Amino acid sequence: MEALQENKVVQFTEGWQQPDNLTSIRNEAKQALNAMDFPTTRVEDWKYTRTARITNKTYTQKEATSDIAPYRIPNLKCHELVFVNGYFDKSASTFLEDDGLSIQGIETLDEASYAEILEDTEENVFSLINKAYSTGGLYIHLAKNKKANYPVHIIHVLTGNGVIANSRHFIEVEEGAELYVVNSYNSNGAIDSFNNNVLEGLIGENASLTIDKLQTEENTVFHISKENFIQDPSSRFLMNTITIGGLLVRNGINILVEGANCYSEINGVYLGREKQDLDNHTFIDHLFEHCTSSETYKGVMDDSSTGVFNGKVVVRQDAQKIEAYQSNGNILLSDKSTVNSKPELEIYADDVRCSHGSTTGQLDEDALFYLRARGINKKSAQKLLVSAFIGEVLDKIKNETTRAHIDTLFLEQFGWEF
Amino acid sequence: MLSIKNLHAKVEDHDILKGLNLDVKAGEVHAIMGPNGAGKSTLASVLAGKDGYEVTEGSVDFDGIDLLELDTEDRAKEGLFLAFQYPVEIPGVSNVNFLRTALNEIREYRKEDPISAKDFMARVREKSALVELDPKLASRAVNEGFSGGEKKRNEIFQMAMLEPKLAILDETDSGLDIDALRIVANGVNKLKTKDNAVIIITHYQRLLDYIIPDFVHVLADGKIVKSGTKELALELEEKGYDWIHEKA
């Protein structure tokens, strides 16, 4: 017992609700945690993200309700699944008629096949905490050759002081099927609370999954996510991550491309103000030939905010004829803001086309002068240029209703128009 | 309209303008010619208020306002327009969005109501025709992928949209073929009224065949060393700028 108490991770989870049926997945995760510690900035993968800001606080798991009206996407007719503090709120959720699409609790997912699907994905201490203590989640399943009638919007709300939300979802899109998911993380009067979430998925052969992730939490909230996706042959995966909220955010997308002829695209926009730390880690692992991946992340950092981009692409020896493109651009609006950008390409195949580029700078002075010389105020000119800069990424959001919602958010929060 | 007195300016530690005097009245067209490095473009930049140009002496009065006290955008709002020698490409910002923002900010400054979308588009159509600019270019990103000639026509299109009191054309003719030159000059001539004025900064006499100046000034070593009428431009063309130096 004494040995356990010295373990910071075990201490961190002390007093959290134990589910009645300790499944093997939970058990294994708990066992693994006993031997783990939280990462320090000496660990390369967490070098720029001081998680002590999160882990030196204590959290409780607390079921709650919240008004969700502000987090709906106006005019988007969709399945709305609501999670408050990581607990599913069925009464606030809406299911529409959609044959072929099944949305159940994650406990209905067969553990053996789940373990097999995600065999080759990596866990970290936070995803293991989630796995051991998750308080709920969805198993979204779309049947073969079906196109869902409606998008799925998973609305996460965090509310209260010192609360941790451990939601965990799994999306399975069967062969030839097509699904669009919006995953939004919001908070409503949450202070020193922590969204520790996991989203995983399997995109079947020739299937297509698009996810738009919107993070609009208050700047008093921590957010760590682990997003693991497996792509079967000829599948298409697109994920856009829009981060405008959260005090410390760490997004971790891992894509395992387990088949030939796949298309993978991940894009992100992160906008930091005040003392926000916004970290995007991505990892695309190409195991098979004739695949394309594309990655565009753009950050705009103001005040004393910090941005991190770490994009890793691995092209394995058998993965010939791969095209992998990656670009990261950042604009610093203040002297105190910083960005750490680290593209990593590991290529073991010899017939590939890969490129990466990273730029960090201030707004183009010549462009600013040109706009001002036409009578546009300095502030408006900056807004025009910033809007243009991130507009390229926002244009990747294909759903016009979601896009309009994001445009509204940006206008309200930053005064930026597109 | 514009009265420049004893203007001295430097860039970094180099004195470029060394006591320049110029008076421009409403309804007039002035041409400022001179060899490379004489300070022609510096004059344009100083008048437009570009960062990095320090005025060390002298004054610029623009219709009763101390121009040098104003920010770049307020100079534009007061009716000053600079057609850039090298128009800047701004990816992602559409010409139309940019011009509507500019126009409305200028109108707000003058305490006028914003222009309606319908009136604005009508104006875009009318003014783009003036410089034979494909209206499709108006909805493209500012200058992005424009040819040299399109960029210069876009400058005059913007001038037409904003209707300035005083337009400074900085080497607008450089790099243009004769047809493009004629189109640009034609646009400028059509915009000319008795209430506005134009300063043409150029190295060559060619543009002045199409836009007839009332006055021609020769700028050399930071000062206006000679002023005259349009015949002076022809004389310069014939004898070259060395002729001025020899005389001075």
- Tell me how crowded residue A116 is: count the other CB atoms within 10 A of its CB: 10
Instruction: Give me the residue label for tokens 């002729």.
Output: B243
Q: Which residues of A touch B (CB under 8 A)?
A: 364-367, 369-378, 380-381, 384-385, 387-389, 391-392
pLDDT of A1: 44
What are the chain B neighbours of A381 within 8 Å (beta carbons)? 73
Q: pLDDT of A36-91, one tens digit each?
A: 999 998 888 899 989 999 999 999 999 999 999 999 999 999 999 999 999 999 99
CATH code assigned to B2-247:
3.40.50.300
Contact: B84, A387; criterion CB under 8 Å: no
In this structure, is the dihedral angle defined by the CA atoms of residues A97, A102, A104 and A106, taken in order, positive or negative?
negative
Q: What angle do CA B150, B155, B156 make, to 5 degrees?
A: 100
Query: Which residue in chain B is spatially nearest to A391 when comparing CA positions?
Result: B92
Q: pLDDT of B61-98, one tens digit each?
A: 999 999 999 999 999 999 999 999 999 999 989 888 89
Q: pLDDT of A362-384, one tens digit each?
A: 999 999 999 999 999 998 999 89
Q: Are B214 and B30 in contact (CB under 8 A)?
A: yes
A157 band by pLDDT with thresholds 50, 70 and 90: very high
Of A25-39, A215-229, A390-404, give the lowest mean pLDDT range: A25-39
Tokens of A203: 């995109």
Within 9-48 of B, beta carbons closer than 8 Å to A belong to 48
Query: Which residue in chain B is spatially nearest to A370 when comparing CA positions?
Result: B88
Q: 3-class SS at B150? A: helix
pLDDT surpassing 50 at residue A109: yes
Distance from chain centroid for Cα B30: 11
In three-state form (DSSP H/G/I as H, E/B as E, the rest C), the secondary structure along A321-374 is CEEEEEEEEEEECCCCCEEEEEEEEEECCCCEEEEEEEEEECCCHHHHHHHHCC
Within 133-152 of B, beta carbons closer than 8 Å to A belong to 141-142
- How do the domains of chain B map onto residue ranges? 2-247
What are the chain B neighbours of A376 within 8 Å (beta carbons)? 73, 98, 101-102, 105
What are the chain B neighbours of A386 within 8 Å (beta carbons)? none
Q: 3-class SS at A19? A: coil
Q: For residues A330 and A298, what is the distance between their CA atoms, to the nearest angstrom?
A: 6
Q: How many residues does chain A have?
A: 418
Instruction: Give me the residue label for tokens 């730390």.
Output: A277
Tokens of B172: 């607008």
Contact: A371, B106; criterion CB under 8 Å: no
pTM score of the predicted model = 0.85
